[in-house]
Amino acid sequence: MIPTYVFVHPSGSNSTAWTAMQREMAFRGHRTLAVDLPGRGTGFTRAYQTQDLETFAAEPSPIADVTGPDWVGHVVDAVRRVREHGPVILVGHSLGGLTITGVANQIPDFLDRIVYIAAQCPVTMAGADYISEPEWASSKLFPVTAKITMTNPAERGYIRLNWRTADPDVVDGLHEALGSGANPDAFIRLLNGFEPDEVWWQTNPTFDYRVEKDTWGRVPHSYIRLTEDKSMPPAAQERYIKEADALTPENPFDVHFAAGGHGTFLHHPAEVAAILSGFSRA
């Protein structure tokens, strides 16, 4: 039977992040579904569009009350529905790794494979705790996003980022962190699709999803490492793989490599799409 690839988007994003990938996968004969996690796909406010920063900073957020179970439950429902029509390959990128981990813990028998593309895969500690570990020290993402943070996440319960900043140095920094290898115009198209609000998952225990040996560990799982990633450094990606393999040595990660930065493949999908296509044949 023909499998369905279910795509879970990264932080600050929505289902449209996968548009180029879905097009490439369709050319290769595959069926795909990209989900909007709860609180996503709501669009932009006038204040954000016009860069009325004072009004923008004070606006309420559609994501303020979203929890980890909201994310996982939403994708569980999607997987259950598409599973009626054949096998399911669940794919997550970056922060999307937390969600696909939670889904695999909950409904392993509905999944034929889970695929992490430079995605978080916590094993021995909460996802947020990995960020302070040495493997993450070289990340270019957090220093530059600190310059466009509009609210105090600890007070609001969510983080708000002004991706439409007019500061050219910050745009260049974001390009380095997220779009290494992508031409500037392609990166700006990617950046323009980002939504400003994200859950403050770092201090919210409902987002503490770690792989579970008896459930997640039963599902075949693959990891696509992005070799030029300056947001989630290759050493951080490797740590997730090693810790998961130590937990489930009888079912280790199937590891693949792709060139480019953390988000480059989203607009230049051919290399990653070729890897994903191989899972359908498997």
**How many structural domains is the chain composed of?**
1
State the alpha helices, DSSP H only, in the chain.
19-27, 46-50, 53-58, 68-83, 96-106, 127-130, 141-145, 153-156, 168-178, 184-192, 234-247, 270-281
State the Cα–Cα distance between residues 196 and 179, nearest whole angstrom.
Answer: 18
3-state secondary structure (DSSP) of residue 195: coil
Phi, psi of 218 (to 5 degrees): -85, -15
Q: What is the pLDDT of residue 58?
A: 94
pLDDT over 80 (residue 29): yes
pTM of the predicted protein model? 0.96
pLDDT tens, 71-118? Answer: 999 999 999 999 999 999 999 999 999 999 999 999 999 999 999 999
Read off the CATH number of the domain in which 231 is found: 3.40.50.1820
Q: What is the pLDDT of residue 23?
A: 98
pLDDT over 90 (residue 159): yes
Q: Determine the structural domain holding residue 243 and report its residue range.
A: 4-281
Kindly give, in sequence order, each residue whose CB lies less than 8 Å from that of residue 262, ignoring residues fewer than 6 positions away: 94, 118, 141, 177, 178, 179, 180, 226, 229, 230, 231, 232
State the Cα–Cα distance between residues 162 and 148, nearest whole angstrom.
Answer: 5
